[in-house]
Amino acid sequence: MDIKKVNQIINDNAYTRTSGTAEELKCAEYIKAAAAELTGYEAHIEDFEVDMSTMNKAVLLIDGKEIPCKGYLCSGNADIEAPFYYMPSDDKHSLAACKGKIVMIDSSMSYWKYQDIVEKGAVGFITYDGNANYADEDIDQKELRKAVSNGNKIPGVCINAKQAIALVRDGATTAKIILDQEEYVGTSRNVVLDIPGEIEDTIVVTAHYDSTSLSQGSYDNMSGSIGLLGIAEHFAKAPHRYSLRFVWCGSEERGLLGSKAYVAAHEDELSKFVLNVNLDMIGCIMGGFAACCTCEDKLVTFIEYLSYLEGFPLKVWQDVYSSDSTPFADKGVPAVSFARHAPQNTATIHNRYDTPAVMKAEHVLKDIDFINAFIAHMANAKNFPVAREIPANVKDKLDVYLNRKRGGGRPF
């Protein structure tokens, strides 16, 4: 892997590739071919089912005036009118006022937020994204995830932040949502490559390759996908004791669906997985390198020491990372996610500004070199040093992240 190859892969895949689409499949096939070219080993594609929707019509009327919007996929069909209610807080008093209203919230639609407004009688919802200070009027395509709705659907739409500000400023009173969509089951894919070692115990290296609807996904996360290709190329030529499996995950942006599907489909193999190493956003021009360990805190210390030995500055901590490492950790496989975090005013994600322009091939290669050094220590261990257990404090954080319980306690 060199600068020319990194730039070629970034530019070849600088297009939107959302879950379950022909573009996602195109990228999966590209990665499969690139992996074979760089390593000499054949990769394969594993299909898994995903909920899909075709939106035929999405309309939001506020006091009779149409507001540009995109309907939430998989939120059903609707033609409903109700009082408009802006809810900037989720305290007990604010939630009590949801009944019979179409509720606009400041954040994305999280599991507990959705459960709360539905429980309190909301009949529809509005979210917004974008930035009031940006020139564009972009609206991201959102979906009501099955894991959020639990089969209890109310219609929702997303608007641009500028429109949301105007609604509150102008004192909006009545909202109407019209949705017409066709929901069905589609197909997403994981790309899998095995490079055998001397023993069957395996380090699984992951990165997602899908993007969100507005993004070319160069930073999030073609960069991590290139990282996997570079690591696989290196270890295809370097001896190693532990086997290595590389998984390029589809549908991460829809709630880690690819990695969740992978661990479910390979449950009989999980006992031989000794570590998951995940890459999610590396190699950008600006920003510092980071490692988040979802495992015993001894690995935090090891990575910190390794950064000194390699002269490679980073921040490292123990926590749950919002990426494909989490489903592995939830199944008891210790995990670490590596990332290069750009300041938000130099590289943003999930919007039109995630393009090859924010990337630096030299940084991608430097990041790969450090991760190779880390994996080399692990893959050549005489006895694997990371305990194959998830500490109780990390299990608690996994329960919160995966919505099995509330974090921080209910506000009422």
Please check the confidence at residue 67 and state whether its pLDDT lies above 90: yes
pLDDT recorded at residue 107: 85
Nearest to 171 by CA among 89, 65, 58, 99: 65
**pLDDT tens column, 117-174:** 999 999 999 999 999 999 999 999 999 999 999 889 999 999 999 999 999 999 999 9
Specify whether the CB–CB gap between 228 and 277 falls below 8 A: no
- Interatomic CA distance for residues 337 and 332, integer angstroms: 15
Hey, which bits of 250-334 come out as E strands? 273-279, 288-294, 315-318
| Two tokens, residue 100 | 């019979």
Residues 6+ apart with CB under 8 A from 301: none
- Is residue 229 within a helix (H) or strand (E), and if so which, with residue range? helix 223-237
55 pLDDT above the threshold of 70: yes
CB of 240 within 8 A of CB of 380?
yes
Global pTM exceeds 0.75: yes
| Cβ count within 10 A of residue 411 | 12
For the segment 8-18, the average pLDDT, to the nearest whole number, is 98
Q: Which amino acid is at 330?
A: D
Residue 71 parent element (H or E): strand 70-71
Q: Cα(332)–Cα(275) distance, rounded to whole angstroms?
A: 10
CA dist 248 and 237 (Å) reads 20
At 96, list the tokens.
Answer: 């009590």
User: CA 346, CA 248: separation in Å to the nearest integer?
Assistant: 26
Considering only the C-alpha atoms of the chain, give the largest distance between any 2 of them, rounded to a whole number of Å: 70
State the CB neighbour count (10 A cutoff) for residue 51: 18
275 token code pair: 């570590």
Which helix (H) or strand (E) segment holds residue 27: the answer is helix 22-39
DSSP reduced 3-state for 403: coil
- Residues in the chain, how many? 412
Task: List strand residue ranges (DSSP E) for 119-173, in order.
Answer: 124-129, 156-160
> What Å distances lie between residue 378 and 190, 274, 314, CA to CA?
24, 10, 19
DSSP state, residue 222: I
Q: What is the mean pLDDT of the chain?
A: 97
- Give the residue among 264, 261, 270, 317 at the shortest CA–CA distance from 294: 317
Question: Mind listing the pLDDT tens digit for each residue in 244-280?
Answer: 999 999 999 999 999 999 999 999 999 999 999 999 9
- Residue 411: which pLDDT band, with cuts at 50, 70 and 90? very low
Kindly state the average pLDDT of the residues 390-407: 96
Percent of the chain with pLDDT over 70: 99
Query: Dihedral of the CA atoms 293, 296, 300, 303 (nearest 10)?
Result: -90
Encoding tokens for residue 309? 């030995």
CA pair distance 36, 18, nearest whole angstrom: 24
| Residue that is written with structure tokens 């009779």 in the block | 64
Q: How far is CA 12 from CA 1, 22, 56, 88, in A?
A: 15, 15, 31, 42
pLDDT in the model for residue 11 = 98
Q: Contact 245/193 with Cβ under 8 angstroms?
A: yes
Give DSSP secondary structure letters for 261-313: HHHHHTGGGGGGEEEEEEE-S--BSS-EEEEEEES-THHHHHHHHHHHHHT--
Dihedral sign of CA atoms 166, 171, 176, 177 in order: positive
Residue-range domains of the chain with CATH: 3-51+187-401 (3.40.630.10), 61-183 (3.50.30.30)
For the stretch 169-220, pLDDT in tens is 999 999 999 999 999 999 999 999 999 999 999 999 999 999 999 999 999 9
Looking at this protein, which amino acid is placed at residue 182?
E
Residue with tokens 């954040």: 107
Residue 143 carries which DSSP code?
A: B
